[in-house]
Chain A
């Protein structure tokens, strides 16, 4: 039996309020992460949802620990084309910040981030940063229930009014579901398994928390759009500075 106090010390992030991102990845937009508050589903704007996606990996010879180790190692490669995640240390450890570059329907770019708040041999958890579509936690886990299962579970509130509207209209939920279904199917394919994803949704709290309306200011979608539109201007300014 492992000392539970050690598991607190090694598996959980040390208390921090804000994400730190001080890298410059040339192939990515490096915005909307550094200095942003780490969110919680308890302090988000919209309705609280628990969304669970899982896929069975029948007849594989790997343990949940082995599947998780591989999932962590190749995490970004299982995402849909056009979407990337970069970790500060290149590894999924408690306290690591990650930069997320997403391509939304219509080719819209959205840059945001998350922080690893928990990790062990069969699971890890991310907390999103302010401005992300959701205020909340996403837990990735592998476990044995007859077959080995790989699971993504998100406890989230849409982060602001716009994201809440996209959820209510079904646009945000459809994109989210498509993303995680594809990710889990890609993971399964790596183990030569073709299977469907099982999904359950639970509305935990239907209340809107209007006190978090000001979080709209940090909306990563709007800020990413502004950043892209003004990039020619930044290019010109940099050119003048150099000359």
Chain B
């Protein structure tokens, strides 16, 4: 495991979408940060959400649970979620765990933005 803790950046400066950047090690500790983020997004008009996974270095079993909870809640609020920047091992985890049912995966931000609007 990596010892780099999870950091979440939440950008809302672009009017037509919410951008979330995940960095570091996804583990149990990220649950509280995700719940705070859900409360923030709940209080806003519905917009598509983009998640940049390129900074995610690793994930453990507890992190997978926290991510699934977060994405399930987020999908119920935001409707459409698109992700990009996934390393190959993360792609494999997303595939066998079916996390990819919750978030559309694209190679980069531009494709994700196009894709998420097509989905809506």
Q: Which of B58, B64, B101 contacts A8 (CB 8 A)?
A: B58
Chain B nearest Cβ from A63, distance in angstroms: 15
Q: A50 at interface (Cβ–Cβ under 8 A)?
A: yes
Contact A120 B3 (CB under 8 A): no
Q: B111 at interface (Cβ–Cβ under 8 A)?
A: no
Q: How far is the CA of A199 from the CA of B64 in the complex (A)?
A: 20
Where the two chains meet, the residues of A that have a C-beta atom closer than 8 Å to any C-beta of B are 1-2, 4-5, 7-9, 11-17, 38, 40-43, 48, 50, 117-118, 120, 123-125, 127, 137, 139, 141, 143, 153, 155, 202, 204-205
Q: B84 at interface (Cβ–Cβ under 8 A)?
A: no
Instruction: Give chain A residues whose Cβ lies under 8 Å from the Cβ of B58.
Output: 4, 7-8
Contact B3 A1 (CB under 8 A): yes
Contact B61 A123 (CB under 8 A): yes
Closest to B102 in A: A42
Q: Which of B3, B57, B89 contacts A12 (CB 8 A)?
A: B89
Contact A43 B64 (CB under 8 A): no
Instruction: Give chain A residues whose Cβ lies under 8 Å from the Cβ of B108.
Output: none
Q: Which of B3, B4, B57, B62 contacts A141 (CB 8 A)?
A: B62
Q: How far is the CA of A48 from the CA of B69 in the complex (A)?
A: 9
Q: B1-41 interface mask toward A, CB cutoff 8 Å, 1 = contact, 0 = none?
A: 11110000000000000000000010010000000000000
Instruction: Give chain A residues whose Cβ lies under 8 Å from the Cβ of B68.
Output: 41-42, 137, 155
Instruction: Give chain A residues whose Cβ lies under 8 Å from the Cβ of B101.
Output: 42-43
Contact B76 A12 (CB under 8 A): no
Q: How far is the CA of A14 from the CA of B57 in the complex (A)?
A: 18
Contact B60 A11 (CB under 8 A): yes
Q: B73 at interface (Cβ–Cβ under 8 A)?
A: yes
Given the known interface contacts A4-B1, A120-B60, the answer about A12 and B93 at a Cβ–Cβ threshold of 8 Å is yes
Q: How far is the CA of A127 from the CA of B95 in the complex (A)?
A: 14
Contact A9 B92 (CB under 8 A): no
Contact A204 B28 (CB under 8 A): no
Chain B nearest Cβ from A199, distance in angstroms: 16
